[in-house]
Amino acid sequence: MQDKLTLMIPGPTPVPETVLKALGRHPIGHRSAEFQSIVERTTKQLQWLHQTTNDVLTITGSGTAAMEAGIINTLSRGDKVICGDNGKFGERWVKVAKAYGLEVQVLKAKWGQPLNTNDFRQLLETDTNKEIKAVILTHSETSTGVINDLETISKHVLNHGHAITIADCVTSIGACNIPMNDWGIDVIASGSQKGYMMPPGLSFIAMSKRAWKFNEISNLPKFYLDLKPYKKTSDKNSNPYTPAVNLYFALEAALTMMQTEGLQSIFARHARHREAVHAGMKAIGLQIFSEEGYGSPAITAISPQNIDAEQLRKEVKEKFDILLAGGQDHLKGKVFRIGHLGFVNDRDVLTAVAAIEATLGDLGINNVKTGAGVAATAEILQKR
Ligand SMILES: *Cc1c(COP(=O)(O)O)cnc(C)c1O
């Protein structure tokens, strides 16, 4: 049905009416006092979201721009780094690091499994010459629905004493607790079309004091993503280049909504929706792809054995106007993914489960009692 499509993919995510309305006005001059006050307020709001006093800079670009900025602004050619890789976005980190000539040691885990924190601890503990400059990883691995133990890994990095932690928190910020200061994370990359309840177009990069120290000697080539001009102008509530002015209107509206809801409520909502989706899928007889206990609060990957996941997705979209995500690379057709990130409420989760259940019934491959998934989901949702 026209205009009825509900996005339940891990970005772009649904955008609230208030945020859409904020977008729909004339752009204003980006050197105006009005715009500067928006930059001032959104910067404070971003620090609130990151639970930090560190700089949080806004770049016009997608999440990958912030990832790339994180690497090129802290590291130097030939630096030794450890990259965690347990999915598509871990792979992306490896590619970016290699593109800039870093010496990359990859710590892999199978897709669906979390990164092994002990692998990181061992490498860091045995690095007595302090050659490792950075540990780079994805917090919520969107391709597999796995949440990695960023807290423990960043602790191991702190114990090392020299390396910094660079984290892709693109689908975890605004979904679960990431106290940047308390955990001692040095660089956090994220993007507007995920937990921020905004359209795509802005990316955010948080930089610790240690990250700025690394920046002083970093010699990788950079220009648009050179963070020094962003920092210099951000201190004066401005931007080095023309920012996506209207997206800043949306950013302020979205972050204000988030502040009204409160961090703890936002985290609790995402945790509840993860639980509800897991319970619903299991009740239908479908398998959760991620290792038990490591489900991302933002996205759930499901491997429906003997069922073509693409066929299921297509039917759910056609019949119910709900867009689910497919599997990436070798998982194409083998998994589908339900995004429950950002502007998602209990109704969205309940209807997604119901739509999947009904579609399986239509396809003649549901061998459990119809309604079992909805019942299991509703039971979790009632608990709040
Ligand atoms: C979406 C996403 C990104 C960024 O992708 P862009 O398309 O560049 O915005 C990075 N990491 C993860 C884990 C993501 O889910």
Index of the ligand 1 atom closest to the CA of residue 10: 15
Query: At residue 288, what is the residue type?
Result: I
What residues contact 15, with CB distance under 8 A and at least 6 apart?
197, 198, 199, 250, 343
- Looking at the fold, whether 287 and 342 belong to one and the same domain comes out as yes
For 138, the enclosing helix (H) or strand (E) is strand 132-138
Calpha distance 313→324 (Å, rounded)? 6
And the tokens for 341?
A: 């990130």
- Looking at the fold, whether 129 and 158 belong to one and the same domain comes out as yes
pLDDT band at 364 (very low <50, low <70, confident <90, very high): confident
Whichever domain contains 121, its CATH number is: 3.40.640.10
The pLDDT assigned to 300 comes to 98
Instruction: Convert the pLDDT of each residue in 105-140 to its tens digit.
Output: 999 999 999 999 999 999 999 999 999 999 999 999
The pLDDT assigned to 22 comes to 98
- Looking at the fold, whether 343 and 300 belong to one and the same domain comes out as yes
pLDDT band at 306 (very low <50, low <70, confident <90, very high): confident
Calpha distance 70→187 (Å, rounded)? 6
Provide the domain count of the chain: 2
Decide if pLDDT at 144 tops 90. Answer: yes
Index of the ligand 1 atom closest to the CA of residue 139: 13
Last residue of a domain, one of 260, 293, 312: 260
The pLDDT assigned to 366 comes to 65
And the tokens for 190?
A: 């994220």
pLDDT band at 284 (very low <50, low <70, confident <90, very high): very high
- Looking at the fold, whether 294 and 150 belong to one and the same domain comes out as no
- Looking at the fold, whether 267 and 256 belong to one and the same domain comes out as no
Question: Is residue 148 within 8 Å of residue 291, measured between CB atoms?
Answer: no
Domain of residue 134: give its range.
17-260
- Looking at the fold, whether 135 and 32 belong to one and the same domain comes out as yes
Q: How far does Cα 165 stand from its chain's mean position?
A: 16
Calpha distance 94→134 (Å, rounded)? 12
Lowest mean pLDDT among 89-93, 215-219, 307-311: 307-311
State the chain's mean pLDDT as an integer. Answer: 97
**Ligand 1 centre distance from Cα of residue 64 (Å):** 6
Whichever domain contains 325, its CATH number is: 3.90.1150.10
For residues 82-96, give the mean pLDDT. Answer: 98
Assess whether the C-beta atom of 93 lies below 6 angstroms from ligand 1. Answer: no
Calpha distance 49→19 (Å, rounded)? 17
Query: What are the C-alpha distances in Å from 323 to residues 26, 79, 326, 358?
Result: 31, 42, 10, 15
Environment class of residue 278 by beta-carbon count within 10 Å: exposed (0-12), middle (13-18) or buried (19+)?
A: buried
Residue 274 forms part of a structural domain: yes
- Looking at the fold, whether 74 and 116 belong to one and the same domain comes out as yes
Question: Is residue 365 within 8 Å of residue 23, measured between CB atoms?
Answer: no
Q: Please state whether beta strands 164-168 and 322-326 pair in parallel, antiparallel, or not at all (unpaired).
A: unpaired
Assess whether the C-beta atom of 43 lies below 6 angstroms from ligand 1. Answer: no
